Structure 1
Amino acid sequence: MSDQDDMSAWGDALAEQADAEGSSTATDDDPWGSALAEQADAEATSQGDIDAASFDALEKGRGEGGEKVDLDVLLDIPVTLQLEIGRAKVSIRNLLSYTQGSVIEMDRLAGEPLDLLVNGTLIAHGEVVVINDKFGVRLTDVVSPQERIKKLK
């Protein structure tokens, strides 16, 4: 039973009750009954006035390349690049004991590729290079879009 049918049934039941009591002021005593009956009647008469939505304009543009999306808007959005050489879990006691020159053991071996993360999402693997006294990264493996989507799920 739909909400409209519920309201109509309540309105009809309250109207029947008012008629059974024989009081013409029963609707004045119970404004909910008359309001529900009135709403049900209004919804029943307005059902014929509703037109189906037309999506012709939307369907024409789909798949035909009618309008091109301007990707230049997206090209200026800043993103954060991170290079991760490894991770380590340590207790707070050990963390507080670190001083200058302390060595922290990571979960990766020497020579393993670094992870390149863009806004926290793995995009590629690479290796560190030094050019003119500056560090850089040479990408050795780019993660495919299908693999990235699988990791999101």
Structure 2
Amino acid sequence: MADELDQDQLAAQWAAALEAQEEGDPDPFEAAAAAAAAAPAAAPAAAQKNGKAGGMSDDERLAAEWAAALASDEQDQVKKEKEQAFFASAAREATFKDLTEEAKNPRPDSGKRELDFILDIPLDVSAELGRTRLLINELLQLGQGSVVELNKLAGEPLEIFVNGKLVARGEAVVINEKFGVRLTDIISPIERVKQLA
């Protein structure tokens, strides 16, 4: 009889909590959790009233624990939903400045400024008369007065490399007892692309 009474009380408490949730109360399950927590305390009084002494039965205790666990889970779920709603309201779509017009109409001095920026970058410039391949044995046999044959013919233009890339051709000249190179041909962009292949 007491079991039926306690179960009827729990059912009524849960029905009241669900009605409160439908009406839009902020935390409807707090009342259910409080009722579930109060149910174990009220059960011994009901048991004594019906002639039972010594506390709740196992079924009553289990029902009370289930009610408390369900109320706690519902509270956690409601709290998570509130947090998600808060974060969703705080989030906003990112907006970016349209740079299309600036890209189409650059400032007149922007090109000069970019060139000024790279003017002090050092470059390795070298002039090449020709190349050859030697074995280590042949290299060790070289001495003063030895002649090394290059892969270019006499009178062919020298090649000017900048950082290892061919950029021009020229001829050797002597100025004030120093060797120099007079540029005769600048490599076109098409030839540079062909050298990459």
Asked whether the two chains share a fold, i.e. TM above 0.5, the reply is yes
Shift of 1:131: 1.4
Does residue 61 of structure 2 align to residue 61 of structure 1? no
The separation in 1 between residues aligned to 2:151 and 2:162, in whole angstroms, is 21
Distance 1:50 1:103 in 2: 77
Amino acid at match of 1:118: V
> What SS does the corresponding residue of 2:148 show, helix, strand or coil?
coil
C-alpha distance in 1 between matches for 2:153 and 2:109? 47
TM-score w.r.t. the length of structure 2 is 0.50
TM-score, L = length of structure 1 = 0.62
Instruction: Indicate the percent of aligned positions where both proteins have the same amino acid.
Output: 47
Residue 51 of structure 2 corresponds to residue 51 of structure 1: no
Long gaps (5+) in structure 1: 1-23, 25-37
Taking the TM superposition and a 5 Å limit, the aligned residue runs for 1:94-133 are 94-133=138-177
Question: Between Structure 1 and Structure 2, which shows a larger proportion of strand residues?
Answer: 1
| Structure 2 gap ranges (5+) | 1-68, 70-79
Work out the CA distance in 2 between the residues paired with 1:84 and 1:72.
29
1:60 match: secondary structure = helix
Larger Cα Rg: Structure 1 or Structure 2? 2
CA distance in 2, matches of 1:148, 1:55: 38
Higher mean Cα deviation, 58-67 or 115-124? Answer: 58-67
Q: CA contact under 8 A between 1:84 and 1:114: conserved in structure 2?
A: yes
2:192 aligned with 1:151 = no
- For residues 53 and 105 of structure 1, the distance between their equivalents in structure 2, rounded to whole angstroms, comes to 67
Q: How many residues align?
A: 113
Q: Deviations over 1:75-128 (max 9, x none)?
A: 111111101111101100000110111100000000000000000000000000
Structure ranking higher on relative contact order (CA contacts 8 Å, 6+ apart)? 1
Once structures 1 and 2 are overlaid, which stretch shifts more, 114-123 or 143-152? 143-152
Task: Quote the RMSD (CA, aligned, Å).
Answer: 2.8
After TM superposition, the structure 1 = structure 2 runs for residues 76-95 of structure 1, keeping only pairs within 5 Å, are: 76-95=120-139
Amino acid at match of 1:54: F
2: CA distance between counterparts of 1:136 and 1:91?
A: 31
Measured at CA, do residues 52 and 98 of structure 1 come closer, stay the same or move farther in structure 2, by a change above 3 Å?
A: same
